[in-house]
Structures are given as C-alpha cells and as structure tokens.
A and B are shown apart, each in its own frame.
Chain A
Amino acid sequence: MVRLFTDDLSIGYGERLIVNNLSVTIPDQKITTIIGSNGCGKSTLLKAITRIISHKSGSVLLDGKDISKENTKILAKKMAILPQSPESAPGLTVGELVSYGRFPYQNGFGKLSKKDYEVIDWALEVTGTSDYKFRPVDALSGGQRQRVWIAMALAQETDIIFLDEPTTYLDMAHQLEVLELLQKLNYEQQRTIIMVLHDLNQAARFADYIIALKDGEMVKAGSCEEVIVPQVLRQVFQIDAVIGKDPRTNKPMCITYNLLKGEKQHEKNISTLYAHASSDY
C-alpha cells in the first residue's frame, strides 16, 4: 500500500519553475533518499511534500487526501519534518525542545499530560539523549544536537519523518551515528523515512529507495543498484563515476569520479587553476 505520492507536482518561486510535473511515489515503511546536484530541487521537493512551501500545480497525496486541503494539525500527527540545520533559542533545554514535538496533540495553554512526558522520555531514550535532558541545546555538539532534533520529530509520533540533509556540518563519525539511528528507527518501528542526502555512498548504504533528480525532473528512481550506476550519475551530476561494491555492505559505492570531459567551462577553470599553481611555485 502506498500512503504518500506526488501527482504531476510543479513547484516554483515567482516565474521560475524549480520542480516540473513530478510524480514520485514514496514507499511505505522504507528509507527513501533524494539525491541530485545543488539547485536540482531536492530540498524544494521535500518542502513541498511537507507543506512548508506551496506548490504551483499538481498535488501531494497522503492517505488519499490532498495535503493542501488537509488540516495542518492532522498532518502534523502523520508526518514530522526536520529542516536543514535548524537553530534553537539559547538556553532552551533539550527536554523543552523535545517537548515541543507534542504540540500537535495539545490544546489551550499546552500543559503536558502524563502521556506527553512518557513519549518525550521515550524519544530521548531512543535517540540516546536522555543524559542531556536538562542541558541547553546550544551547548551540545553538532551530532548531539542533530539527535535532539530527531528526538523532537520522534516525540511528534508520526509514521513518516522527513529530514533535509541531516548530516550537514557533522564529521564522518557523527554522520554515521545519525544515519544508523534513522536506520534503527526504520527497522525497529517501521517508520517511513525520507531524506535529502549529498553523499552518494551514504545514500546507497542506507536507502531502500533512491530518487535522483536533475533540474527538477526525475532521472531515475529505484533501489541503489538501479540508481547508483554510471549512466545515471553521468546524467544527474555530470560525472564519470567508477562504481564498485562496498566490501562490507555489498552495496554499490562510488570509488572515484571525474568531471565529464568536453565541458569547456570546467576545462577553463582547471587550466586557470594550473596557471595559478605554477605561478605559486
């Protein structure tokens, strides 16, 4: 059963179309990753599916209903969003931030119920952030902070979680930590996860389904074996990639790559680079 898909979706700012007539299906209870070059519209797509920005035409359907017509609070109980590198007010504690995940369930002045406290503690527990509960968010490291924001999304108790580049600004170990946490949530609790990632190898390793975008249009969607192949990467990133196999996970991985030849601009850049380099020495 498919719960979430887009139908002929077009998104744009002003006159400019960023995403053009896109129909994608998000497989349920799987990890989906959207990849593509800078400015290809991947974050825009994520924002439109999560109603953060409105779309120009077409529709996003969740459980058979158009999200632009659905009550936003009901949607907030079905899908949670973690924007790209969110910041929080100084002094806001981890526990407080995570408690805002309960917002869609509250009314009036928002006194937290026993259930709310249980869910908050559970979300802290799962993300391994219980120890920081009373610490201010802005005093944590990048990786800890990202896990706290994920805890907030979890406290929202949604089946679907969206993340816009959850690994940005994190070092390699922390990137893996965040991705493994998401994988665990998917395995253990069957949460549907949709995220934008920059790193192809991470996408291949963690995603069940990859959507490759180029200039707001879908080049290819499918399993990592179908998408992380030289032809697709050539089209999506203009790179000539050598794809091998990760010896540990057996997933495809990009071992090395070059920019495609024949692009004048790139060659010019490279030659000026060499010119600079030689004048330096």
Chain B
Amino acid sequence: MKKTQHSSPFIYKLLAGILVFLSMFAAAMVLGAADITVKDAWLALTSSASGDKISIIRDIRLPRGIAAIVVGAALAVSGAIMQGMTRNPLADPGLLGLTAGANAALAITIAFIPSANYFVTMVACFIGAAIGAILVFGVSAMKKGGFSPLRIVLAGAAISAFLYAVAEGVGLYFQISKDVSMWTAGGMIGTTWGQLNVIIPFIVIGILISFFLSRQLTILSLNEEVAIGLGQKITQIKAVLFVVIIILAGASVALVGNMAFIGLMIPHIVRVLVGTDYRFILPMSAIAGATFMLFADTLGRTIHSPYETPVVAIVSILGLPFFLIIVRKGGKAFT
C-alpha cells in the first residue's frame, strides 16, 4: 500500500495476468488422461489437421477449457460486482442464493419441460437466480439494519438450503435426480460446442457491460450518499448491475452447475494486486477467475486420472479456508 503499489501501471499487471492465463490454457490442453503432446495441441488449435488426439482436443478438451474460462470469468466478475454494490466482503453468487435459485429452476425445467432446449434452460436459470437473490435480500430487509454482511450470508445459507431442497424434492418426485445431479455436479464434463454457442454470448455481453459500468461501480462502492452527491443515478446503475449479476450467475449454473467460492475468492485476491478501483478489479477478476477455473478443472482431470475428481470439490477445498479467513477478519479489511 506504499507509494510503490500504484507505481507499476495496471497495464503491466494485466499483461502478466494474461500471460499466466495463456500458460494455464496451454497446460489445460496438453494435460489429461490421454497422452497428448504440445505439438498435437498446437495443430488442433491452429490447423485443420485431423486425428484421434486432435479430435480429443477439439471436441473434448477445448470446449471444456472454454467452459472453464467463461464460467470462471463470469463468476469472478459477478462476485466482484456484488461485493462492490453491497459493500459486503462476503458477497458471492453461491453464498447469496443465486446459484441455488438457478439450480432449483434447472430441476423444475428438467421436470416440467423435458424437451427444453439449451436456451430455455438458461433463461430458466436467469429467473431462478433472480428469485434466489430477491428472496435473500427480501429476508434480510425484513429486519431493520438487516443488510449487515453476516446477516445477509446467513439469510443466503438458509434460502440456499431451502432452494436446494426444492431441487432435490423435484428431482425425487419426478425421478429425475440423476439428470439434475449430472448437470449440477458435473462441472465442465461433457460440455459441447452447442451449449457454448448459446451461453457464451450472454456471458461476454454481461462482462462487457460490467466493464463499461466499472467506474460507476467504484463510486457506488465508496458510499451510497457519496455516489448520489457525485451525481450518479444509483437506482438505474444498481438495476443494470443486478441484471448483469443474474445473467453471469445464471449462465454459469446453466453451463456447469453449482460453483461457490470463486466469486468470493478471486476479487479479494485481485484487490491485493490492483487496488480498489473496479476499472482494474473487474478485468483482472475476469482473467484470474478464468485462470483459476482452468487450473481447478485440469487438476480435477489429472490428480486421479483416468477418473474425474469433481471440480466443485476442488474449488471448495481451495475456497473454504479463504472464506474462513475473510469471516475472521470480519470484513473489517473491506469497508
């Protein structure tokens, strides 16, 4: 936090981040159950050559890697936005009911519209995420002063438990538990290009909108009264940011299912690197989130290969200690 902290311009940090990200991406393509050389990976990505190993990359590893990238970026950015908007250091789509809401919506969609295509499923996830978030903030708002960080997290835990129960109940009753859990616990397994084509535009647009509003988010994260005094239309800005969060979290669930902690963890690490300005936090969170998710997924594929270790387990094992550290600090380091 000394003078030197901001002396190395953001652009260098961003480039370093991109470099780490690209290395991770290369590793994710090469490493795995099947023996693949760097040359195969290169050919698969850059040429039209064909072959067994090349199709493993093109049809399995590449879509899976891209899924990890977009989901990691989406969750990290939505977590950063939530933390900035609510000035709550514990904000995360997984902790505040959005993921659980999208998950319940997913189960209901599978039960009632078995023929639903990918787009319909995703929209259902958006709606579910919005309902989850509204329930959590609604429960918190019932009591005066209820928006304290820990109270919101408690409300989030209660609502999430309820919504997961709804998903389970629907799964059991309609005997689709297996389908639902395949989806929600499966991580990036079996991601197809078809799914990616539907979901990626939403995530990319959501992230771009957030970049455009990053300066507004910084002002909002200071203090609401200060934001109004500086001439910000806070209601409009918050509404747009809320929609962005819903889209990012909903699309992530539609693609990979439940994934907590990334949205919590990544922005906090990024703040240490780039400071408190969301013009820097958001792009850096996107890169760091993508890199982390690639890392977690690659680890899941390789530590016990040829068997898969669920990526959600890896993310949670890495994320939980982090959560505890932030709770211990009581969010003091944040506001």
Contacts and interface: CB of A to CB of B under 8 A. Distances in A.
A104 B231 contact: yes
Contact of B222 (A47, A72, A88, A106): A88
Given A73-B231, A100-B219, A92 B275 contact: yes
A76 interface: yes
Given A91-B271, A110-B215, A81 B226 contact: yes
Interface string A73-90: 111110111110011111
A101 B223 CA distance: 13
A88 B334 CA distance: 9
A76 B225 contact: no
B6 interface: yes
Contacts, number: 85
A209 to B, nearest CB: 22
Nearest to A134: B3
Nearest to A87: B335
Interface in B205-232: 214-215, 218-219, 221-223, 225-226, 228-232
Contacts of B325: none
Contacts of A75: 231
Interface in B1-53: 1-3, 5-6
B224 to A, nearest CB: 8
B214 to A, nearest CB: 8
Contacts of A184: none
Contacts of A97: 222
B333 interface: yes
A82 B225 CA distance: 8
Given A91-B271, A96-B276, A83 B226 contact: yes
B230 A96 contact: no
A270 interface: no
Interface string A230-272: 0000000000000000000000000000000000000000000
A100 B232 CA distance: 12
Contacts of A93: 1, 6, 275
Nearest to A102: B230
Interface residues of A, number: 36
A50 interface: yes
Contacts of A73: 231
Contacts of A50: 228-229
Contact of A87 (B214, B223, B276): B223
Nearest to A47: B225
A281 interface: no
Given A91-B1, A91-B271, A93-B6, A51 B228 contact: yes
Given A90-B334, A100-B218, A76 B231 contact: yes
A27 to B, nearest CB: 21
Residue from A73, A83, A103, A104 having most chain B Cβ neighbours under 10 A:
A103
A80 B225 CA distance: 11
A76 B232 CA distance: 9
A101 B229 CA distance: 10
A82 B230 CA distance: 10
A74 B6 CA distance: 32
Interface string B263-280: 000000001000111010
Given A86-B223, A87-B223, A91-B276, A103 B232 contact: yes
Interface in B186-244: 214-215, 218-219, 221-223, 225-226, 228-233
A80 B229 contact: yes
A89 B215 contact: no
B334 A89 contact: yes
A74 B223 CA distance: 20
A110 B226 CA distance: 17
Given A81-B225, A86-B222, A87-B335, A103 B231 contact: yes
Interface string A106-118: 1001100000000
B203 to A, nearest CB: 21
A195 to B, nearest CB: 14
A103 B1 contact: no
Given A90-B334, A103-B231, A136 B225 contact: no
A2 interface: no
Contacts of B5: 91
A50 B6 CA distance: 34
Contacts of A101: 230
A193 B226 CA distance: 17
Contacts of B279: 109-110
A211 B163 CA distance: 53
A52 interface: yes
Given A83-B225, A91-B276, A136-B1, 16 more contacts: A50-B229, A52-B225, A72-B228, A72-B231, A72-B233, A79-B229, A83-B229, A86-B223, A87-B223, A91-B5, A91-B271, A100-B226, A100-B230, A103-B215, A103-B230, A109-B279
Interface of B: 1-3, 5-6, 214-215, 218-219, 221-223, 225-226, 228-233, 271, 275-277, 279, 333-335
